[in-house]
Structure 1
Amino acid sequence: MVLELIDSNECIWKQGLINDTFLQSDAVNILQILLAQEAHEDFLVWGEERSGEFSVCSAYKLLQKNLEDPTAYALQTRSSVFYKLLWNLDLPGKIKITIWKISWNYLPTLANLKFKKLVTTSCCPRCASAEESMGHLFRRCPTTVEVWSELNYLHFLNIQGMEFEEWLTWAIWKDRNRRVHDRKIITGKDTSNFVSKYMEELKGLEENICTKRREDVSWKAPPSSVIKINFDSAFDGRRFRSVSGMVARDARGTVLFTRTSFHERVVSAFAAEALACQLAVSTGFDKGWIRVIIKRDSLTTVKKCKPLKLDKSQIGVFIRNIQQMKSNFQEISFNLVPRPTNELAHALATKMLKGGKSVYLEGKAFSFMDPRTTVGRSREPD
């Protein structure tokens, strides 16, 4: 039975028994399976989603893999790459949705409307020289040609990296609709000027936001009597091992301890983060602290630690252990922080991954740390 392969007292696999019983490749996979600190009932997990929860999207992807026609699957793969890039663009949703509609020929151009017998004419409303197809609207129409000719001017304004073509495509469709519905005549130069001005405003807004973020990236002291533990992890995917790094400081910014912990048979960077979070919580409990703030620059792990519902993902074991330990604290919270404010924990994890050591220092930091950053600035509690 599987139970016979587990040391119930230590909640670990019986490594010797597993290595003697199974092939080496199988033994490695078994030893990488995570174990909870306390026994629990089994539950079903959907293996095609990282969350462990069934979704129609994952079922659709699974069916696509089983298509008999490899060409159809290859086409689907190429499309998925395109749409992944599209949805990850730093653009407003209205522009991305417009591009998505164009990719499927879903825009209500007059050619499409005539095909569906909703209009009687498909002549371009801007130039009246050809049918308003997708190719004519966005490439061949004289008004559009004038818009694209301004593209070099936009580059001259030094606003690279803001997806010119997507912005211009959206603007062309927007101004075309104003021509059709509002009877407003808009030249190609007007459209280009609108886009350049709009993008410049966004660029200025983005610079202001970045400046404000840079001003707020310093470490912030916790409230009085609360301990803040910053943690991070470093993962070696070739050897399936990781190092957890953490720094605990009080309301004055004084370092209470620094710690690194080396772990073998870690299946992923995802698991390494959750393991580091579990170690941070357990360390706070072992210290007898009752009011703790746990900080990390990974949104996924932080979000999973907050709810009390069953987590079926790969790191569900760690999340379950963390949820069980939360009841030992009078107050505990999990918060996301920018990477610069988590630099000490990050430096610990990455530095010690090469050496593969577990080290604990009471009341001080490691020698390689910048002494100017081991004591936080005196700021308002966050």
Structure 2
Amino acid sequence: MELKMWQNRRENGELAMVSDLIDNINKKWKTELIMNTFQKEIAHKILQIPLAKTDCKDMKVWKGELSEEFTVRSVYKLLQEASLDPSNYLLQADTKDFYKKLWNLQLPTKILILIWRISWNYIPSLANLRQKRVTTTARCPRGCSEEEDSFYVFRQCLVSMDAWISLNMAWVTEYTDQNIWPWLTWLEVVRERKLTTTTGRSEHKEEELWESIQFDAAFDTNSSISASGMVARGQNREITVSKSTLHSNVSSPFVAEALACLEATRLGIRLGFNSVTIMGDSKTIIKKCKAGVRDKSVLSAIMVDIQNNKNRFQNIIFRFIQRTENGKAHDLAKEALKKEEGSYLVEETRENLDLGERWPRNPD
């Protein structure tokens, strides 16, 4: 990637590529060179960009999607927002929120398209066919007396209800709202909860004989410094090691949490864990760690190192826990940030830390 020299404080003919600013041996930014070349604000922004310890290729990122993957849908959305009157119903908050949830669902494309057609009432129900003058009657042909519209087809028809029951999904008819949009998104929320409950139970049972590491982060916006707190436990759940580490040039709480997770995997490698459960209270970070594809956000470099470290274990699981379950790791991170120094303690718990009020947490 070429550098825009007009942004530099002074001309530096030796700098042509971004790689010229990186120490390839230590995988770190050349801090002094960057501070002497760029304006102070730009230099700090450069130094806050995480660098992966693992060599990886450059990639293209599309900012029009939350996933940062290019889609035709996102281009259409950008064009729509640029050309239509904001008062148009297509841009109303509830509509945008619905489709944002829809396209982020982990479902096959053909099902997503079907849901999209249902939401716009584009399916060939008898009510729609009568409106288009394809048929003269809209009464349900399956022995019912009701008119067959989209709402009726999927939620009220006796045949459809029998189908839901045979699929062990009778719960989809429990939602009472007559608006089909919130019903469609409600279905996915309930489905995810059921899957999480079922999957979570089997995973937790499998993890009973595993070591575990809990991680958390504390972040100071003014100094751009963060601290990682980690608590390692053995198979009988006793604390074996507690560790904290400081990080400089951190741009956000999300980066701080990702760095803490990375430090947790490194601690597991150092302790020689074979099967380990890495637990944290940031849903965003845990979700990214579970993903099998390369992350394209600002956390990309950190996630590359986490994914690489996963290969050092025979078994590894990333699990989300509530913040109330993660107090010891948070206390360690907060104390390290307060004292501006890390720590490494073996077989020692910290039950009575007088740390005062906890640091405020930003939502995921």
Global fold match (TM > 0.5): yes
Q: Confirm or deny: 8 A CA contact 1:228 1:250 kept in the other structure.
A: yes
The correspondence for 2:133, drawn from 104, 112, 117, is 117
Structure 1 equivalent of residue 303 of structure 2: 319
Matched, 1:282 2:297: no
Q: Decide whether the 8 Å contact of 2:286 with 2:319 is kept in 1.
A: yes
Residue 74 (structure 2) aligns with: 58
Q: For the residues of structure 2 that align with 1:73 and 1:355, how far apart are their CA atoms? A: 51
Mind listing any 5+ residue stretches in structure 2 that lack a counterpart? 1-14, 105-111, 160-173, 177-193, 355-364
Aligned to 2:240: 256
Q: Judge conservation of contact 2:22–2:29 (CA < 8 Å) in 1.
A: yes
For 1:12, give the aligned amino acid: K
Q: What SS does the corresponding residue of 2:235 show, helix, strand or coil?
A: coil
3-state SS of paired residue (2:326): helix
1:12 paired with 2:28, answer yes
* Maintained 8 Å contact 1:231/1:280: yes
Deviation at 1:222, TM superposition (A): 5.0
Q: TM-score, structure 2 length as denominator?
A: 0.61
| Structure 1 position 275, deviation (Å) | 1.3
TM-score of the aligned structures, taking structure 1 as reference length: 0.58
Q: 2:83 aligns with which of 68, 93, 100?
A: 68
Give the counterpart letter for 1:250 in structure 2. Answer: G
Q: Based on CA coordinates, which of the two structures has the bigger radius of gyration?
A: 1
> What is the percentage of aligned positions where both structures have the same residue?
34
Q: Provide the C-alpha distance between the structure 2 equivalents of 1:40 and 1:85, rounded to a whole number of angstroms.
A: 32
Matching of residues 80-159 of structure 1 within 5 Å: 80-84=96-100, 104-106=120-122, 112-120=128-136
Q: Distance in 2 between matches of 1:11 and 1:295?
A: 25
Task: Tell me which of 43, 60, 83 is aligned to 1:27.
Answer: 43
Opposite residue 277 of structure 1, the aligned amino acid is C
Number of aligned residue pairs: give it. 300
Alignment of 1:37-48 (within 5 A): 37-48=53-64
Match of 1:164 in 2: none
Determine the C-alpha separation between the residues in 2 that align with 1:285 and 1:25: 37
Distance 1:121 1:222, change over 3 A: closer
Q: Secondary structure at the match of 1:35?
A: coil
CA distances 1:313-355 after superposition (whole Å, capped 9, x unpaired): 332212222343345x453412314327842455336744862
More divergent stretch after superposition (257-266 vs 46-55): 46-55
For residues 333 and 342 of structure 1, the distance between their equivalents in structure 2, rounded to whole angstroms, comes to 20
Residue 36 (structure 1) shift? 1.4
Q: Please, which of 208, 212, 215 is the counterpart of residue 228 of structure 1?
A: 212
Question: Secondary structure of the equivalent of 2:83?
Answer: coil
Aligned-pair distance for 1:69?
A: 3.7
Q: Is the partner of 2:69 in helix, strand or coil?
A: coil
Aligned pair in 2 of structure 1 residues 241, 60: CA closer, same or farther (>3 Å)?
A: farther
Residue 74 and residue 110 in structure 1: after superposition, are their counterparts in 2 closer, same or farther (change >3 A)?
closer
What SS does the corresponding residue of 2:241 show, helix, strand or coil?
strand
